[in-house]
Chains A and B, each alone.
Chain A
Amino acid sequence: MGGFKGGGLNMSISIRSLTLNEYLLPGNASCPGCPASIGLRMLGKALEGRYVLVIPACCSTIIEGPYPKSSYGVPVLNIAFAASPSAAAGIKAGFEVLGKGDIHVVVWAGDGGTADIGMASLSGAAERNDDIIYICYDNEAYMNTGIQRSSATPYAAWTTTTITGKSEHKKNLPMIMAAHKIPYVATASVAYPLDFVVKVRKAASIRGMKYIHLHSPCPTGWRFPSDKTVEVGRLAVQTGLWPLYEIDHGVFKLSDICKPLLDKRNRKPIEEYIKIQGRFSRISKEQLAELERYVESLWNEIALMIEKSKMSEGGC
């Protein structure tokens, strides 16, 4: 993978170029090592305060803190689960009328709020191509209510409602969003913050519906030590389980960090990712083999999409 351990370094922007201003303020309620916090901090640095947040119930509403204080340096609308994309579209329309159309409206929602409970209105906003940025921070379960499985929980993972390991695979949300033909879809990881910042800025430069899916390893729910958040996130990418890519106006582009992974030999063994997480501690050989098949098919699909995008770009 080259370069530093923090692979997100060989990007088109540098750490130094990020603003010193913070939009997630210290002294908030997140667990030590929280991935949502890393994501929220980077979101603030990407948009430098020119945004408002719409947040349905999730860990990030708790991180926000109790009234009369807020840990977020920007205005936040807290709203019922299924309403966030529509509410965001309404706020954006209001800004347009007031001549403040340059303020970005960002939905920041969990995987439960996105893949399950908010799915219908998210699909509606995508179909209408509402001018919002939707970011799903994916900690792969309903963490805030006690680690219940969501449709984004991966196969074989323990949660309090899948005590022998989940029997279904993770729902492929980014691809479902791409099927709506919205102008911009991207995957990102808290382990590669600069890549995430670049993608958020790209999304902000595009009019219409933008969707970014941010992989967010959660020490509390995944059962790993709090200092391993970034390491686990990096392994998810390096093993091929969480590919980083963009679909920019229909054109699929594998992110540079992941290009070597097209060759199977460059992917780390899945065990490296699995073994440091308590939620996979009881995984069987068969389940591991099934996860390996899943990664294989994921990358076969990616190879096909790259081919297809090359063809359409070539004008065939």
Chain B
Amino acid sequence: MLKQLSWLILLLEVVELSYILPVSKPSEGASGFTGIWRSFKPVIDVGKCRKCLLCWLYCPEAAIKRVGDDYMSVEVDYRYCKGCGICANECPFKAIIMVKEG
């Protein structure tokens, strides 16, 4: 009996409880690759960037990535960036321009 029960628990773990119970799991792209919504894309001019991180702070999508050894450089994750333009509007050094897609 006990053995059967432990098998059942193992089975549940394998099939993943979350798909039996209506419990969602944290996932990137819960609504897909939202980058395809974009009509303008932000392009960062690395030469002008002063690494103030304001674009990272304000991006609603967490689509600005902090990269480099000290995580002080910024990069756009185009898979998810929706092209809202907030980063370009807020950059104090005009290092981001919005370019038409397509």
A5: chain B residues within 8 A (beta carbon): 90, 92
What does the 1/0 interface line of A192-208 toward B look like (CB < 8 Å)? 01100000000000000
Say whether A25 contacts B28, CB under 8 Å. yes
Say whether A27 contacts B32, CB under 8 Å. yes
A25: chain B residues within 8 A (beta carbon): 26-30, 62
Interface residues on A, range: 35 or more
Q: Which residue of A lies closest to B58 (CB)?
A: A230
What does the 1/0 interface line of B28-70 toward A look like (CB < 8 Å)? 1111111001100000000000001110111011110010000
Verify if A88 is at the interface (C-beta below 8 Å from B).
no
What does the 1/0 interface line of A75-97 toward B look like (CB < 8 Å)? 00000000000000000000000
What does the 1/0 interface line of A16-43 toward B look like (CB < 8 Å)? 1010101011111110111101100100
B90: chain A residues within 8 A (beta carbon): 5-6, 230-231
Known contacts A15-B57, A32-B84; A27 and B28 CB within 8 A of each other: yes
CA distance A59 to B79 in the complex (A): 22
A231: chain B residues within 8 A (beta carbon): 89-90
CA distance A18 to B62 in the complex (A): 13
B77: chain A residues within 8 A (beta carbon): 26
Known contacts A33-B84, A68-B18, A69-B25; A27 and B71 CB within 8 A of each other: no
SS of A interface (majority): loop
Verify if A174 is at the interface (C-beta below 8 Å from B).
no
Verify if A70 is at the interface (C-beta below 8 Å from B).
yes
Known contacts A26-B80, A227-B89; A6 and B33 CB within 8 A of each other: no
Q: Which residue of B lies closest to A36 (CB)?
A: B60
Verify if B95 is at the interface (C-beta below 8 Å from A).
no
Known contacts A4-B92, A20-B71, A67-B22; A229 and B30 CB within 8 A of each other: no
What does the 1/0 interface line of B4-18 toward A look like (CB < 8 Å)? 000000000000001
Verify if A269 is at the interface (C-beta below 8 Å from B).
no
Say whether B29 contacts A26, CB under 8 Å. yes
Say whether B26 contacts A35, CB under 8 Å. no
B29: chain A residues within 8 A (beta carbon): 25-27, 69
Say whether B89 contacts A27, CB under 8 Å. no
Say whether B84 contacts A227, CB under 8 Å. yes
Q: Which residue of B lies closest to A39 (CB)?
A: B60
- Which among A18, A25, A72 has the greatest number of chain B C-beta atoms within 10 A? A25
A-B contact pairs, 22 of them (CB 8 A): A6-B57, A15-B52, A15-B53, A25-B62, A27-B30, A28-B31, A32-B82, A32-B83, A33-B84, A33-B86, A65-B31, A67-B22, A68-B19, A69-B26, A69-B29, A70-B26, A70-B27, A71-B27, A72-B26, A193-B58, A227-B98, A229-B84
